[in-house]
Structure 1
Amino acid sequence: MVNNRTTIDIELKEDPKNLQEVVVNVGYSTMRKSDLTGSVSSVKADAFENSVPTTLDQALQGRVAGMSITQNSGVPGGGSSIQIRGVNSINSSNEPIYVVDGVIINGRTGDNDRNAIASINPNDIESIEVLKDASAAAIYGAQGANGVILITMKKGKVGKPVINFNTKVGLQELPRRVDVMNLREYAQHHNDYSDVLGYGRRLDFSRPEALGEGTDWQKTMFRVAPMQTYDLSLRGGMQNSNYSLSVGHLNQNGIIYGSGYKRTTVRLSVDNSIGSQLRMGATINVSQDKQNTAVSSWSVLGNALFQTPAIPVYNADGTFGGPTSEFDANNLGFSNPLAIATLNTRDRENVIARGNIY
């Protein structure tokens, strides 16, 4: 009972002010949600705070309707292909462009290993807006024909300086291996193969049941790989100005020997208001990353799957084992994958600086 009344009449009325308060970033300005006619998807930073994305494309996976993200390579820091609402290219690429605090980054990955946005630290991102339709082309022209991903980085806020330190440590491993023959099974297969073609049998394969397991190349090549991220930030501000300084470091070892990725980022942002009509500021982003791509360049994984278990990882003298025509005539020339991953070095190192003054 309310005020001794057993019957209460309730009438609901819409409040248009609630809709007017919602704003979205559309590239050239912010707009009220009620005035927005184009299709825009928003992703806030807290959506991927509990995950460990090493690059921006990983942070976006599964969070935007109509966006398809395909990882082109398993190499740490490798590229991904992103399509928004299908394939519709007019500029020799199906990739969207990225706009980071007003600076445009071409979304072309170049090849399977290269990632145009790997230098962006996901922990510095405040929000992401995805422009999906003609509104993107109206703002950015032909380069925005495949969509635009607007990235707003974190800035300082009015208040006392706040220092944040965040670290994450994890382990990566291969969830499942491809089922291949061990040495006994391979020896029996080799004998049957030789009998059909009329070749002579190998002497060391005369009794397959007496042989051991042989070399498990997948077990040899794959490892439990650690990954660490460290992020330190200082943010604060006064009534007419705010500042943000952040430093991040990522060290990711690949689960296969010969792969890895390291990234160090430094970002500084300053905003000042001079009177009621003038606002000015600057943003500087500097990143250095180093990527080991010997795995994909030298077919290490392919050699690990096709190499026979009869080939030892190491010879008796400590050198790497390898196929010879006398040792395995049907080896088809596959090499020792661990030797390839260990002896070959192919590093890609980038230093990138982006700035915006307004």
Structure 2
Amino acid sequence: MERISVNTSSKSYEVLLGKEMTKEIIAFISAEFPNVSTVWIIADEKVFSIYGKPFAEELKQSFPVKVYTAPSGERAKSFDVYHEAITHGLSNQVDRKSIVIAFGGGAIGDLAGFVASTFMRGIPFIGVPTTILAHDSAVGGKVAINHPLGKNMVGQFYQPEGVFFDLDYLNSLPAKEILSGYAEVIKHAFLSDASFLEYLKMNFVSVSGLQEDFVLDCLLKGIKVKGEIVSKDEKEQGIRAFLNFGHTYGHAVESGCGYGMRTHGESVMIGMVYALYLSKKYCGLSFNIKEFADWVISLGYDLTIPEDLTFDHLLKKMRSDKKSKDQMPVFVLLKDIGDPVLMVVPEEGLAEADLFIREIPKWTGHI
């Protein structure tokens, strides 16, 4: 079992990675919350149908357990689902001595964390992520739901008590979810050092047949990158904003396509290529974007933008991004790999990068 400490100004906790982690979770709750009244599992309905019943049954041997299942993916992060979850907790006598378990991918972690942060003014929660993507969202305490006008617009910073990454839950991930998760791993590589990125390019050549040691190593590297940044800047007053590399344009694409129609990771991948173009233009980044695009497309990432999703539509969404300044989106760009900077980019540059993205399928031969 591997262990990573995350130390923020409001809370310190550990991320544990290993196999058969349910006993570790029971031991943790018993030690840290000996008077717990209810363990309230908020789970992805698909994940729960595969892994949830034995997980809940094992917990029931030690604690009273209630289970709320939410729709899979971004559909979980709506006002209606949030309201339904709160109602479920109140109807099942969940109280201030209860603890929430977020059981699923990144969307469930966001929903369950936000429910925990607001239920009776806040009860503790732990994360049990079941996807590679969630190695990013499960660490750092950003919890939120979506608004029709923007992703993660309703939320707050609320740190978990601990995160338990059970590698057994990754065995059934479909290819698109593996790709979605590795987009965030690649993002962490861009924010840390070139050797991490080269390591990924050398070893990540297909979504099938990934070795467990490689997956674990990637999770550890990615979590360490995020943990170090979050420890220095818990509430995104400075360097934590760098973790949004690829997210400004990526969120606009994800929202514009309709939540759940495109994975978060694939949208971020598109956003990273967009940001790499801007980085070359405005920051002098020396980087072969064509080679990078060829690699990620060969893995299965779809970098195409629907024709009906116009630049004007995407720009409107980027202007409403939480990081915007004076109605202009603020981008995380790279002066070099591992050397990010925040920059407001003029509209003509944004339009040029959008055109570049739309041309990629032509010059990579993937049309």
**Range of TM-score over shorter length:** under 0.3
The structure richer in helix per residue is 2
Provide TM-score, normalisation by structure 1.
0.21
Larger Rg: 1
The structure richer in strand per residue is 1
Provide TM-score, normalisation by structure 2.
0.21
